[in-house]
Amino acid sequence: MKRITALALIFTSVLLAPASAHTTLVSANPAVDSFIEAWPTSIELTFAEPLATISGSSSNFITVTNAAAVELNYGEIVFNGAKVTVPVKENLVPGPVLISYRVSAQDGHVVEGQYAINFRTSKPSVIAPKGGENGNGEEGGNLLVTGATTLLVVLALLFGIWAYRKRKS
């Protein structure tokens, strides 16, 4: 019985380890929730692991939208491992700027999130809303999936142990 329990614990930990490993936004330039006075020519996002790139199609999307709801993306987005560079056109509208992303890590996990920066020409008048840890708005959904998966695996293991013991006696 001790062997079965030990094997069940090892099996569960091995099975669930990949489920919790997914990329997150590590850093951004301009930084999350920052105030900037000089508009950049590009926005850079760095994730915890390299992103998947599929030749011939794009599985990763990043959009930059200003306070007037005008998309500021300009030109080809450059993916280099875990770093993404988004060229942007000039922003003439002071206020919050929303950077939204949907990226696919090489392990297949899709991560969606957003964060804001505030473009100003003088003192701040609008504070950008926070989007969660590192601006990553996807954490709650993956937590639910991981919890449900864990519960199903544990129940399956308990049922297997019960069936084994019933069959043996």
> Which one has a higher pLDDT value, 122 or 32?
32
CATH code, domain carrying 153: 2.60.40.1220
Residue 55 confidence (pLDDT): 65
pLDDT surpasses 60 at 9: no
Confidence of residue 168 (pLDDT cuts 50, 70, 90): confident
Count of domains in the chain?
A: 1
Q: Specify the pairing of strand 42-47 against strand 83-87.
A: antiparallel
* Structural domain span for residue 135: 2-168
The CA distance from 125 to 67, in Å, is 12
Confidence of residue 124 (pLDDT cuts 50, 70, 90): very low
pLDDT surpasses 50 at 20: no
Residue 49: how many CA atoms within 13 Å on its side-chain side?
13
Q: What's the whole-model pTM score?
A: 0.59
Model pLDDT for residues 29-68, shown as the tens digit of each residue:
999 999 999 999 999 999 988 888 776 556 788 999 999 9
Rounded to whole angstroms, what are the CA distances from 144 to 47, 117, 150, 155?
22, 29, 10, 17
